[in-house]
């Protein structure tokens, strides 16, 4: 787990920018405090911050490799982990008599690319963002893992193309690139609607993200040619009931194998543990490979907003040592500017804060943690996935009549039983579902943004994704959408940024290509069935997780922002943030203040909407106004724990 940065120039001037690249790497030191490395030639400057996990004494980056006739042909920078690197080495030695100079997981990427070309990315089992420079062909190849676990930002202008693990490093080079760094109003509207900025956008016009499952090829002076090499699909043919037990066994075997490979490291590996089935399953399987496994959780002192007790019960049941971090309201508020600085883009998910604190606690003890992200998207874990079952009768109603039902529902008073069902049933899946973070209605978005555009609604983001899943069952379409929106826009962003803020590597065994393969073959009746979600996964884990967790509702890290924003803990703090913000060009601050007042009086629960606007205002204060300067602590950790 590391931070990479590269600058490809169009005019052979890369060597003159080496010091600029080195300076730009400083703002992502937290991603790799163990080593700093650079490499340049006429066209390309590479920078790298290393967090040493595998082959600590060697595998330094930027890494050079080549065949015997050209031993330093390639240069690699690589962020992530390749979990099948041992198997890849054996395959490359057997098939090509390949020679290796290290014992790490980065070198097999270069060797694979040399022999298989761009198709090599399909053989990698892991999380990654990497760049390979071919000094002979003078071409650059960059790629990102199938699900978007690791980030990769890119920007191109007259001065060249830059790519990096964090946007801050690219904006440090904006003057060299000559790219537009003004705020993207379209991306802002998408953020307010979704509570995150969807890929490939960022709030900075001239900077974009290479999407998950994509790679790009470019040469000096050319624009990147981007291709998608992986797209998760879920179209499933009917499967006989007699195959169910076999499917449960396949899930258990694939997950156990994934956890085993995710435990590969030359440093200590721990595990996050909440009160839910996903993290408990990962911790229980990890315990089989490390009987001294440490697990970590976080919570709040307020009743109903802590999974600490359940997590402790789970830890005792699976036989692991458990460490808890309790977050106070004062710690919560004080950490927000620092957290948003680490994020690069605002993500209005309050669970970021406890995740940041539990990662900081974990880093005192371990250098790598496992976590349960991705299980809900792959196995059908969100309660909203049951909605198509309740709305199935509406699918038989002709379109014109369904729209009429929608008009009828609009006239029914708020709070009337059946109004919501009628309203949702009158809409198509494409109209009503755009992910888990649905805090703002379109009217509410219009009320807070000064430059609202109807054409920038949620379908601007979700429409092209839905087009690719026509003909699938509705649950599969919702999963597919969430993999391209919610998972990579919120879940994986907070997982990567909050752990890397603490120089901690986070690994997600559910988001493994072999686990995905078995999940993709499940019919929807194995996802939302018998009144529960993730039905097949729960059946597969019956012999792995404790009984008290098996059918427990997912909570994650619940955060009491609703109470705090209405009370003394955060209300005055929130008002001060709004009043000080210089976002008048984009936001109707009076509308935000009205939401705060209504929320405090208990007239409406605006907590998620308020939090969305606060995160943007603080982001703007840091990165646009320069009004807020977070205190970024430079921590030093030992290489081996």
Q: Is 371 annotated as a binding residue?
A: yes
Tell me how long the chain is.
641
Of the listed 2, 27, 214, 615, which one is catalytic? Answer: 2
Closest of 70, 61, 135, 144 to residue 105, by C-alpha:
61
Sheet containing 35-40: order of strands: 35-40, 44-50, 2-8, 160-164, 153-157, 208-209
Cα–Cα distance for residue pair 148/158, rounded to 1 Å: 28
Residue with tokens 């888990």: 436
Task: Give yes or no for a contact between 130 and 111, defined as CB atoms under 8 angstroms apart.
Answer: no
Q: Is 105 annotated as a binding residue?
A: yes
The helix/strand/coil state of 136 is coil
Closest of 121, 315, 305, 252 to residue 540, by C-alpha:
252
The helix/strand/coil state of 344 is coil
Cα–Cα distance for residue pair 560/549, rounded to 1 Å: 23
Give the C-alpha distances (Å, rounded to integers) separating 229 from 27, 122, 124, 125, 215: 31, 7, 12, 14, 7
Cα–Cα distance for residue pair 336/630, rounded to 1 Å: 9
Closest of 446, 438, 317 to residue 384, by C-alpha:
438
Compute the Cα dihedral for 436, 442, 446, 447 and give only its sign: negative
Q: Is 13 annotated as a binding residue?
A: no
Look up 2 and say whether it is catalytic.
Answer: yes
Q: What is the DSSP letter of 183?
A: B
Strand locations in 315-396 (E):
321-327, 368-370
Active site residues: 2
Residues marked as binding? Answer: 105, 371-372
Residues marked as binding for L-glutamine? Answer: 105
Residues marked as binding for ATP? Answer: 371-372
């Amino acid at each position: 787990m590391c931070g990479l940065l590269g600058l490809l120039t169009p005019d052979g001037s890369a060597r003159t920018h080496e010091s600029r690249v080195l300076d730009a790497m400083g703002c992502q030191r937290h991603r790799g405090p163990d080593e700093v490395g650079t490499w340049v030639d006429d066209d390309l400057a590479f920078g790298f911050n290393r967090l040493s996990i595998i082959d600590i004494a060697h595998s330094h980056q930027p890494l050079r490799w080549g065949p015997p006739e050209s031993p330093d042909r390639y240069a690699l920078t690589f962020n992530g982990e390749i979990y099948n690197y041992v198997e890849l080495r054996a395959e490359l030695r057997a098939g090509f008599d390949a020679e290796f100079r290290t014992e790490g997981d980065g070198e097999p990427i270069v060797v694979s690319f040399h022999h298989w070309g761009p198709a090599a990315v399909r053989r990698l089992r892991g999380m990654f963002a990497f760049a390979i420079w071919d000094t002979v062909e003078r071409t650059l190849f960059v790629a990102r893992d199938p699900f978007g676990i690791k980030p990769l930002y890119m920007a191109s202008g007259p001065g060249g193309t830059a790519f990096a693990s964090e946007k801050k490093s690219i904006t440090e080079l904006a003057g060299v690139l000559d790219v537009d760094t003004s705020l993207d109003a379209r991306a802002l509207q998408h953020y307010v609607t979704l509570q995150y900025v969807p890929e490939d956008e960022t709030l900075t016009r001239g900077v974009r993200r290479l999407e998950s499952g994509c790679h790009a090829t470019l040469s000096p002076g050319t624009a990147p040619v981007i291709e998608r090499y992986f797209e998760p699909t879920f179209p499933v043919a009917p499967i006989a009931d007699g195959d169910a037990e076999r499917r449960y066994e396949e899930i258990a075997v694939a997950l156990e194998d994934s956890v085993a490979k995710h435990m590969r490291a030359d440093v200590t590996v721990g595990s996050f543990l909440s009160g839910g089935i996903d993290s408990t399953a990962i911790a229980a399987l990890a315990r089989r490979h490390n009987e001294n496994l440490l697990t970590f959780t976080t919570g709040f002192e307020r009743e109903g907003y802590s999974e600490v007790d359940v997590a402790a019960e789970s830890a005792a049941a699976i036989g692991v040592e458990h460490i808890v971090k309790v977050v106070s309201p004062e710690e919560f508020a004080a950490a927000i500017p620092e957290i948003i600085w680490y994020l690069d883009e605002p993500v209005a998910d309050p669970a970021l804060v406890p995740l940041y604190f539990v990662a900081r606690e974990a880093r005192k003890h371990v250098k790598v943690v496992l976590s349960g992200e991705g299980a809900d998207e792959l196995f059908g874990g969100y309660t909203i996935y049951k909605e198509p079952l309740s709305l199935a009768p509406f699918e038989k109603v002709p379109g014109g009549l369904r729209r009429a039902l929608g008009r009828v529902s609009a006239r029914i008073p708020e709070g009337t039983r059946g109004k919501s069902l009628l309203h949702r049933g009158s809409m198509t899946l494409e109209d009503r579902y755009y992910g888990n973070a649905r805090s703002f209605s379109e009217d509410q978005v219009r009320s807070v943004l000064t430059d609202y555009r109807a054409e920038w609604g949620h379908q601007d983001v979700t429409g092209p994704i839905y087009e690719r899943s026509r003909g699938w069952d509705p649950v599969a379409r919702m999963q597919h959408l969430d993999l391209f929106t919610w998972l990579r826009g919120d879940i994986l962003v907070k997982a990567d940024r909050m752990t890397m803020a603490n120089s901690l590597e986070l690994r997600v065994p559910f988001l493994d290509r072999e686990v995905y393969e078995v999940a993709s073959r499940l019919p929807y009746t194995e996802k939302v069935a018998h009144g529960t979600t993730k039905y097949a996964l729960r059946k597969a884990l019956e012999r792995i997780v404790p009984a008290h967790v098996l059918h427990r509702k997912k909570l994650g890290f619940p955060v009491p922002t609703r109470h705090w924003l209405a009370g003394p803990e955060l209300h005055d703090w929130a008002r001060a943030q709004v009043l000080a913000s210089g976002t008048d060009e984009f936001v109707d601050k009076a509308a935000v203040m009205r939401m705060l007042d209504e929320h405090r009086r208990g007239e409406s629960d605006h907590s998620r909407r308020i939090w969305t606007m606060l995160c943007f205002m603080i982001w703007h204060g840091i990165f646009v106004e320069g009004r807020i300067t977070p205190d970024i602590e430079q921590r030093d950790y030992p290489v081996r724990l």
